Amino acid sequence: MNNVPHIGNIAGSHLPADIFARFCRLAGYETVFIGGSDEHGTPIEVAARKLGVSPKELTDKYYEVHREIYEWLDISYDNFSRTSREIHHRTTKEFFMKIYENGYVTEGVLLLPYCEHDRRFLPDRYVEGTCPSCGYDSARGDQCERCSTLLNPDELVEPRCVLCGNKPVFKETRHLFLNLDKLEPKLKEWIESRRGVWSPQVYNMAMGWIKEGLKPRCITRDLEWGVKVPLEGYEDKVFYVWFDAPIGYISSTKEWAELNRKPQAWEPYWKGEAKIFHFIGKDNIPFHTIFWPGMLLANGEYALPYRVAGLQYLNYEGDKISKSRGWGIFCENLPKAQLSSDVWRFYLTLIIPETSDTEWKWREFQERVNRELVGNLGNFIYRTLSFIHRYFSGEVPRAELGEEDRRTLEESRRVAQEYRSLLWDVRLRDGLRKVLELSDIGNAYFQAQEPWRKVKEEPERARAALYVCANLCYDLAILMSPFLPKSAAEVARLLGTNLGNLEDVGREKIKPGTKILKPKPLFPKLGDADIERLRRITSRVTKFEEMFASKPEITYDHFSRFDFRVARVEEVEELGDGYFRLSLSLGDAKKQAVAKLTDARELKGRLVAVLANVEPFEVAGERSEVLILRSVSKGTAMAVTLDRDVKEGSRVR
């Protein structure tokens, strides 16, 4: 973790994993979705040195940035941990000692690159050179990004220090090795058992390494920042980041159990019959199919992964995403774009690189959002609920169903069965297409039934059509919830119910007489100007220095221009996506504020602090005339309130 995530990171692991975890919960599986920040290794040390901060200060900052981004994108981790935490260090040392006791660790002498200019040993990622396998001239010292060959620094042709460009010398130093060669027969047998479960590209890559023959792999490094090696004579070394990082899956699950006050609850997931799924990018496939399983086999106490979902790369407008060139979408900017996270999740799901590299294209983003999300899914739900609200006083009608009505409802069950199979096979894009297929069926049914005409000419048929469509909306809310969680929750709210599980789809859970709320369109239509604005906002690169720079001071004269006032909250209206509209009284003036507030429902009648002389601005498609002051911490945003009875409109100084 030495950078801010971009959309390639999201589409390549976090989002697919979240969709799958949400699906598993929906399907009734006991599910724990864990992740964490990998905070050790030379990249962290070097980045911290450049910024003049400690590795801990750097990782503290990045952890918060990552956590906030994942929360904003509704990545539903049950626990998002850190490898710098004590529970991880303890788990790693215990895990290693078991491997050591089992005889799978040996000592050896390495000739390692040492930079005489920087006066330090250079871990493999800080040595570059020409790959001996494919001739790529910028191969890293641990792996060639072009051909995926696992390397050691001394195997590179014409190696160079990435810090200063000088050619390093090689010095002897003692290190510890995991004997992957001894584990090769077991690894081969296990990988062969995954044929038909793993995707062909993951299986073939893993078997390719087996066929080349495995060698002992060094698991220690000459660094200060990391998990210390618990062996005499190695006190000055730490574990290689790719030894301790995957153990974080276990330590994060342990931490989850402790946080839930069930300290043994982690064991069934790692020592029982649970199925373990890993969602990782293409460059991490070797570590999750060879190195990590080898560690698990050497330890002998933990279950092996059931599925390694190795995703490919997401590119951007014809090229690789590049922070240095400002080429891509950088996730710290997404909240500033004022577009629901569901809209981003929708298109990213459609282009998840499941089997081959994919590409973000702004024009396609606009077209597919407008045609499929707005015009298909959003349109069906909005016009169904609007029609019920207008013609049936907001109450789902009672009706006698005909054969075509029953056939349409049965389509939900068919789609749900196919959807279940697709998502279990990690075919997430096809799963989302099933959601769109059902909404397409709903739109076609709505059009064929013509309730706008039959409400007067054949009211019984209009009632039947709207009853069927209301239940399709509920079914769609369930099926779309792994992909579009905010919108799914909003549809359930409008229907006056809670989301059920996958077994509820097609079961006519919305009964006659159910009261619905007045709907608003779920998704905004995107014009050309919107796309240009989104592109401009999201492509901005946040530099390291900006993240750690202190806030600039302002003069008192500058501060005095801000007109802070006391306002009383008269009405609170939920808008969806976490936003609320507040009607405020500032004494002699009435104002409207729109904000995302955790405590909004508790504010009616209370006094809040606002910035009154801000230029009106748009939030969530609504006009906000003042800015409510909020206290923001750990994913919550609370209004700054006043407990004393102060006159409305009073200045705050």
Q: What is the pLDDT of residues 516-555, one digit of tens each?
A: 999 999 999 999 999 999 999 999 988 766 666 655 677 8
pLDDT in tens, 360-409: 999 999 999 999 999 999 999 999 999 999 999 999 999 999 999 999 99
pLDDT in tens, 599-626: 899 999 999 999 999 988 877 668 899 9
Look up residue 125 and give its two tokens.
């990622």
- Res. 562: pLDDT tops 70: yes
Look up residue 200 and give its two tokens.
């062909």
Mean pLDDT of 170-193: 95
Burial of residue 195, with CB atoms counted within 10 A of its CB: 0-12 exposed, 13-18 middle, 19 or more buried: exposed
Residues 6+ apart with CB under 8 A from 535: 362
Tokens 């405020």 correspond to 584
State the pLDDT at residue 152.
Answer: 87
| Better pLDDT: 635 or 14 | 14
Report how far Cα 355 is from the mean position of its chain's Cα atoms.
19
User: At residue 518, what is the residue type?
Assistant: K
Burial of residue 554, with CB atoms counted within 10 A of its CB: 0-12 exposed, 13-18 middle, 19 or more buried: exposed
State the pLDDT at residue 393.
Answer: 94
Considering the domain 93-238 in this protein, what is its CATH number? 2.170.220.10
**Residues 605, 569: Cα–Cα separation, whole Å:** 5
Q: Chain-wide mean pLDDT for the chain? A: 93
**Residues 333, 326: Cα–Cα separation, whole Å:** 13
Tokens 């296990």 correspond to 190
**Residues 462, 290: Cα–Cα separation, whole Å:** 60
Element (H, E) at 496: none
Tokens 């020409």 correspond to 130
DSSP 539-557: TPPPPHHHHHSPPPP--HH
Confidence band, pLDDT 50/70/90 cuts, at residue 228: very high
**Residues 288, 305: Cα–Cα separation, whole Å:** 9
Task: Give the 3-state secondary structure of residue 445.
Answer: helix
The Cβ-side half-sphere exposure at 342, using a 13 Å CA radius, reads: 24
Look up residue 613 and give its two tokens.
């002389």
**Phi, psi (rounded to 5 degrees) for 253:** -70, -40
State the pLDDT at residue 579.
Answer: 83
- Res. 348: pLDDT tops 90: yes
Mean pLDDT of 459-474: 97
Mean pLDDT of 313-338: 92
Q: Which of 634, 639, 624 is nearest to 569 (CA)?
A: 639
State the span(s) of the chain assigned CATH 2.170.220.10.
93-238
DSSP 273-342: SPPPEEEEEGGGHHIIIIIHHHHHHHH-SSPPPSEEEEE--EEETTB--BTTTTBS-BGGGGGGGT--HH
**Residues 361, 351: Cα–Cα separation, whole Å:** 10
State the span(s) of the chain assigned CATH 2.40.50.140.
556-642
**Residues 187, 455: Cα–Cα separation, whole Å:** 66
CATH topology of domain 360-549: Isoleucyl-tRNA Synthetase; Domain 1 (1.10.730)
DSSP 146-162: TT--B--GGGSEEEEET
Mean pLDDT of 413-432: 98
Look up residue 591 and give its two tokens.
């104002």
State the pLDDT at residue 488.
Answer: 97
Look up residue 430 and give its two tokens.
């096809």
User: At residue 494, what is the residue type?
Assistant: L
**Residues 246, 292: Cα–Cα separation, whole Å:** 7
State the pLDDT at residue 92.
Answer: 98
Q: How many other C-beta atoms can be found within 10 angstroms of the C-beta atom of residue 509?
A: 16
Architecture of domain 556-642: Beta Barrel (2.40)
Angle, alpha carbons 123-124-125 (nearest 5°): 100
Minimum mean pLDDT range among 1-15, 176-190, 360-374, 426-440: 1-15
Alpha helices in 6-54 (DSSP H): 7-9, 15-26, 42-51
User: At residue 351, what is the residue type?
Assistant: I
- Res. 435: pLDDT tops 90: yes
Look up residue 59 and give its two tokens.
């990782």
